[in-house]
Structure 1
Amino acid sequence: MIRLKIDDSKDYTDIEILIKCPEIDRRLTSLIEHIKQNYITLVGVNEERSHSLIAYNLYYVESIDNKTFFYDEKVVYESTLKLYELEELLQETPFIRISKNLIVNTAYVEHVRALFNGKFEATLSNGEKVIVNRHYAKAFKNKFLN
């Protein structure tokens, strides 16, 4: 059973989330990842305007020609961060690297199908398809299935 208690007061300056549990299971791990992801904000530029983006809303991050891009459901934003920096920042979230130049948010993966040579094709909830290279397939399956 889960009991949720919320204590809101103007006296608090920060948000504190305390989880008391007998053990951390898959459901709880997923919830913790979801909470963490909702508090990670990134800056992306679109049409010469800077936007504050919540990581959870991003479908994937891609690096092309030494430039990094964030993709949400419909819009593309450019970032000054490198892919490896984002991978480190997002490591305890549903994001996972699936190729040399792409990190995907597994929360938006609708389904996956096997391709030849150990690769997978992942279809995102916005209809886009991304390829999981075989080198990253095992880590992707572990993250996606958990």
Structure 2
Amino acid sequence: MKITIEQVPEGGEPEIILRCNDPDEALLGLIYSVNAGARKLIGMNGLQMHIIHPHEVYYFEAVDHKVFIYCQEKVYESRLKLYELETEYESGDFFRASKSSILNVAKIESLRPVLYGRYEALLHNGEKVYISRQYVPVLKRKLGL
């Protein structure tokens, strides 16, 4: 694969041009992740609204009809539903890990199998998140296994 980077004239808009015969799943995933990187999340902390970049998110979790955004050190509340977040970010590094959580694959430090086909993911911030057995195939596909 050949990669060419050109300087954009001042005032010009950056663009990405892909030349290929047939775009495969990996290439389409790359395109979607580039697009997902541009979208930002709004997280609430009390009455304050915070702009959160998706690459800062470790995971999303639904608890008591509320959705929370877990970052390195802070937790924010989202006004979006879990299924909306899944649809918005599944083409990037995010995948459904259980009925109540969506996990960022890029934030996983290690994985270990636990009882009944489930996995335990240790994240870079030290937190542990469990992956339900029905979502393990999705995780393996995201990791290219």
Return the TM-score normalized by structure 2.
0.87
- 53-62 or 27-36: which moved more? 27-36
Q: How far does residue 33 in structure 1 lie from its aligned partner after superposition?
A: 5.0
Structure 2, unpaired ranges of 5+: none
User: Is the contact between residue 121 and residue 130 of structure 2 (CA under 8 Å) also seen in structure 1?
Assistant: yes
Q: How far does residue 141 in structure 1 lie from its aligned partner after superposition?
A: 1.6
Where do residues 7-86 of structure 1 align in structure 2 (5 Å cutoff)?
7-12=7-12, 14-21=13-20, 31-32=30-31, 34-86=33-85
- 93-102 or 42-51: which moved more? 42-51
Name the counterpart of 2:109: 110
Structure 1 residue identity aligned to 2:36: Q
Secondary structure (helix, strand or coil) at the match of 1:68 reads strand
User: Is the contact between residue 87 and residue 96 of structure 1 (CA under 8 Å) also seen in structure 2?
Assistant: yes
Structure 1, unpaired ranges of 5+: none
Q: How far does residue 91 in structure 1 lie from its aligned partner after superposition?
A: 1.6
Q: Distance in 2 between matches of 1:80 and 1:108?
A: 23
Structure 1 residue identity aligned to 2:6: I
Q: Distance in 2 between matches of 1:135 and 1:86?
A: 19
Q: Distance in 2 between matches of 1:62 and 1:50?
A: 18
Q: How many residues align?
A: 145
**For residues 36-55 of structure 1, what are the alpha-carbon distances to aligned partners after superposition, in whole Å with 9 as ceiling and x for unaligned?**
33212111112421011111
Q: Distance in 1 between matches of 2:29 and 2:120?
A: 23
- 48-57 or 73-82: which moved more? 48-57
Secondary structure (helix, strand or coil) at the match of 2:6 reads coil
Change (3 A) 1:116 1:62: same
Structure 2 residue identity aligned to 1:4: T
RMSD of the TM alignment (CA)? 2.2
Q: How far does residue 30 in structure 1 lie from its aligned partner after superposition?
A: 6.4
Structure 1 residue identity aligned to 2:7: D
